[in-house]
A and B are shown apart, each in its own frame.
Chain A
Amino acid sequence: MIPAAFEYVRATSLDDALARIAATDGAKVIAGGQSILPLMKLRLARPETLVDIGRLDELRGVRRLPDGRVAVGALTTYDEMLKDDVLRHYGLLRDALPNIGDVQVRNRGTIGGAIAHADPSSDMPAILLALDAEVVARSARKERTIPITEFFEGAFASALAPDELITEVRLPGGRDDVGSAYRAFEQPASGYSIAGVAAVIGARDGDRWGLCAIGITGVGDHPYRASGVEQALLAGASIADAAAHATDGVTVASDIHADREYRTHVAAVQVRRAMEAAIARLE
């Protein structure tokens, strides 16, 4: 449980960090360290250099953008998000944050780290998918925004280039006519989700829903939007019928805790429950 030797540098500014990442072969970024350090201790990750961005205050904190959206700095910890006055209005975050990891993990783990790591079972990606968030990424070359729906590409694989850093995540502003909820069915040992479902539902018009966004984690090889569920609900299907599409087109994962059959079933149950909870909040 001792990592292989590595170089360590602490970035003094965002530009300094970006320059070092661009210039150093085999560099990995460390923020809260909740994902990279366990991998290094098991020697499953062996970065030659760790660039520590943990003290870059410019990447920390929550602010409202002029257009009403909310920007969450990449280094904002779970605990800071949990205590933030703006973010507490997001039902999804209220549901999920208190159950992520334990106190130490929430004190150290960051939103940027959670999505950069692209763990297929992590909670935060499902939530950001359902919120249609935007990821802002910067390199020494340029800054760009990546729609969250295009961010996750596979297990521990994302659209982030090797020389890019996530600087912030942008969430849509709150709406009175939508409700949201997060329901995770946890693997008991790790606490990661066997099926974690974020549901955002609203904009009811007569007997139809005008908005439905379902983000799912733990089920496929990467977190995804359950478009089959969304389309069915928007087309007027019942919640139960819509939820049955939870894993349409997805290669469902299988392990010693939940095989493919059970995980497929639980995903649908959790989708139904998250949708019901989101709608209950709306009412």
Chain B
Amino acid sequence: MTTDMLGKRVKRVEDQRLITGEGRFVDDIKLQSMVYCAILRSPYAHANIRSIDTTGAKAMPGVLDVMVGADIPYNPLPMAWPAGGSAGLQNNVNMPRALATDGVKWTGEGVAAVLAETPEQAFDALEAIVVDYEPLPTVVDAEKATQPGAPQLHENAPNNIVFDWTVGDRDGAAAAIDKAEVVVRQRIVNQRLIPNPMETRGDIGWYNPGTEEYTIWMSSQTPHIQRILLAIFVMGIPEHKLRCISPDVGGAFGTKIFCYADYVVVLEASKRLGGRPVKWIESRRENYQSTTHGRDHITYLEIAGSKDGEVSAIRVKTYANLGGRLSTIGPGIPTTLYARVLSGCYKIPNVFAEVLGVYTNTVFVDAYRGAGRPEATYVVERAMDLFANEIGMDPAELRRRNFIPPDQFPYENPSGLGTASGGAKIYIDSGNYEPAMDKALAMAGYAGMAKAKKEARTRGKYLGVGLSTYIEVCGVAPSKWIGAVGEGWGAAMWESANIKVHLTGKVVVTVGTQPQGQGHETTYAQIVGHELGIPMEDIIIQHSDTQGTPFGYGSYGSRTSSVGSTAAIKAAGKIREKARRYAAHMLEASVEDIEVEGAEYRVKGSPDKKKTFQEIAFALDLAFDAPEGMEPYLDETAYYDTPNCTWPFGTHVAIVEIDEATGFVDLVRYVAVDDVGNKINPMIVDGQLHGGIVQGAGQALWEAAVYGDNGQLLSGSMLDYALPRASWIPNLELDETVTPSPVNPIGVKGVGEAGAIASTAAVANAVNDALKPFGIRHLDMPLTPQTVWKAMQAAKGVEA
């Protein structure tokens, strides 16, 4: 047992449980008299519903009830983050209801729900529901959906436009582009992805008729937020009458932030059935059709500058596909979280972005690992490579010339973070980009790439190297900023922690954040153990239940290590201060004379006069001898609202080899130098980077959610949606620079999304670099063998 654990590669305490099958996920929970729910989903991407006949299904064995949209009297799901900006707040929000009441807008939208004694009976009964659909024309492409004559999804959204949002200096960018020596233009598609957490979603609703209270077990990143959204905004029940519990959550990647229709279905179903708990578990196929997707941007990019490599402007017009109806914070992703960081780590003086949010006959799109920032990073990192190619400069050199210099932090970028509404200025707090790049280039042997390319040609391969010098916005977010309606999501985003020290000095920490596999039970214990000088083994971390944890906004946006940890540190500080006061009482000394080292509280100058943390806890809990005015027990809560976001950065280098004969892309090396500030647990940081890098590389090379023109999801299962496999990935060569964040007391930044934000652009840049001999400037992802081979064929004869 050691108390010297902060910053150490401590093994994750939750792993034994999770990898031996002892985890407790929603589907592991079985309650007395539980009922099973199955949801009938639309086979059409766009249709009116003429009628639904549930008679046959209701007569099936074991079927207790069949619900349709009209049976559920509540509001639609809430829109928590409408887009604001120059054109004002959007006013054409169309949200899903528990079950469709006004036709269906995508293949997979819920139409009816069967409640039965067994899952088998529920699924059988789905087939007996007769729905009379009137199919309507469909559109799945966001750009096409805005064109005249496109099928219209919602009366209140002409041309399917949800919002037309702009940020930055339109005139300044136009002037800079007009007078620039060099302007490069490119249409860039950031394809739609399916997030694929290992555990699909699921929930159990339970209405207690005796107390008129509701409980829901949910695979959610945000149980506290769901309580607000479901109770206040959807169902109109008192907030304190709904308890939300997220047990173990098997991955989320953003998809489990949101408020989903099935939550309402199971809660209402339980009430209809007089209080029998109702379980719904999502199949993988349903997950593909009814849980949020990510990305799906079409961007028209312009980047301008001088022949000697000074970039003066970047301007984009982006069509962001938001799906058939909106998800909880869908509009916030391609606006605030995308366009406001479009200039990345570069000192580009003129930035202008226009973003059109668009309805299409597809699953709704919302935050997916990185949420807007991967899309922005992909655009700016492709843009830098395109510009470097155009002026004949090495892409690393172009980056070097345009980095924000280390002496200009805190830095206000021109795309609006510094001028965001709501009173809080968001600025890039710190950075030192060149050393990270130099280190990565040296590790990758960047100087030897020309030679390596030649050597590869002798083996029938085209070698390419790609950089991504990304920045990331972590630790969301100052409430003053993120709470500004139109800019953020109209509510706060602080965090909380409570620490209770029990009789024997054992500590229970409850937090408002919500792990989904990140290892919070380990990292919080490392922090609290360090702060209180006690072993990790004496600490447990509890989370996930609105009953028993302090209110918190949940885990997403790489916020837990920065915002959540700081709340825990503050709570530990309060514990330590009270322990110190009581130690003074026990040792008959003045508080000022008590010095604390680890778990030892001793009188200055009298080293043998001391009490341990455990002795103090024991005495104070029993309170036989508490001084006048001091409350018994060590029990403290702290809330923390961060003054700024945190800003990790780094340089990733991908090296690929393309098979001349087939176009197959082999990712042969991957080097990453990341600066995530100080680390609570470097092993967990490595794990986050590994997973993130692979997930981002998955987008570059393999993954794509493909819709047919009729709105059918062609990549509708794992047989057709290619997730990366371990054997396709080279050893990931990781290193670091350390620039502690000045925002929080331990100088951490967050790392949950960094890998995924950086790697897509690095890999895509490498493939495009490899194809330079063919005169190919840009290919859209995923860079499948077919895509690459066809481009090489089309370019044949151009080859230098």
Contact = CB atoms under 8 A, between A and B. Distances in A.
Interface of A: 1-2, 4-5, 42-43, 185, 187-190, 256-259, 261-262, 265-266, 269
A189 B718 contact: yes
B784 A257 contact: yes
Most B CB contacts (10 A, CB to CB) among A185, A188, A265 go to A188
Contacts of A2: 119-120, 123
B590 interface: no
Contacts of A42: 285
B723 interface: yes
B714 interface: yes
B723 A189 contact: yes
Contacts of B785: 185, 262, 266
Which 5 pairs between the two chains have the least Cβ-Cβ distance?
Answer: A189-B722, A188-B722, A1-B283, A262-B786, A190-B719
B784 A1 contact: no
A269 B661 contact: yes
B408 interface: no
B202 to A, nearest CB: 13
B714 A188 contact: no
Contacts of B120: 2, 5
28 contacts: A2-B119, A2-B120, A2-B123, A4-B124, A5-B120, A5-B124, A185-B662, A185-B785, A187-B722, A188-B784, A189-B702, A189-B715, A189-B718, A189-B722, A256-B714, A256-B715, A256-B720, A257-B720, A258-B786, A259-B786, A261-B790, A262-B785, A262-B786, A262-B789, A262-B790, A265-B662, A266-B785, A269-B661
A261 to B, nearest CB: 8
Contacts of A266: 662, 785
Contacts of A259: 786
B74 interface: no
A190 B721 CA distance: 8
A189 B789 CA distance: 19
A253 to B, nearest CB: 13
A189 B719 contact: yes
Among A42, A43, A266, max chain B CB count under 10 A is at: A266
B706 interface: yes
Contact of B284 (A1, A43, A185, A261): A1
Nearest to A4: B124
A74 to B, nearest CB: 25
B125 to A, nearest CB: 11
Interface in B645-693: 661-662, 664
Residue among B662, B664, B721, B728 having the largest count of chain A Cβ atoms under 10 Å:
B662
Given A188-B702, A259-B786, A262-B790, A1 B285 contact: yes
Nearest to B787: A262
Interface string B104-137: 0000000000000001100110010000000000
A261 B793 CA distance: 11
A259 B718 CA distance: 19
Contacts of B715: 189, 256
B638 to A, nearest CB: 45
Contacts of B714: 256
A269 B661 CA distance: 7
Contacts of B720: 189-190, 256-257
Contacts of A258: 786
Contacts of B722: 187-189
A262 B661 CA distance: 11
Residue among A2, A42, A190 with the highest chain B CB neighbour number at 10 A: A2
Nearest to A263: B786
Interface string B125-162: 00100000000000000000000000000000000000
Interface string B685-723: 000000000000000001000100000001100111111
Contacts of B721: 189
A1 B285 CA distance: 8
A9 to B, nearest CB: 19
B709 to A, nearest CB: 13
Contacts of A262: 785-786, 789-790
A251 B789 CA distance: 21
Contacts of B662: 185, 265-266, 269
A224 B228 CA distance: 61
Interface in B377-400: none
Contacts of B789: 262, 265
A162 B785 CA distance: 40
A256 B706 contact: yes
Contacts of B127: 43
Contacts of A185: 662, 664, 785
Given A265-B662, A265-B789, 6 more contacts: A1-B284, A2-B123, A188-B722, A189-B719, A256-B714, A266-B662
B725 to A, nearest CB: 8
Contacts of B723: 189
Contacts of B784: 188, 257
Nearest to A268: B661
A138 to B, nearest CB: 32
A266 B721 CA distance: 21
B519 to A, nearest CB: 26
A188 B665 CA distance: 12
Nearest to B61: A5
A127 to B, nearest CB: 21
Contacts of B728: 188
Interface in B766-800: 784-786, 789-790
B661 A257 contact: no
Contacts of A190: 718-720
A2 B282 CA distance: 12
Contacts of A256: 706, 714-715, 720
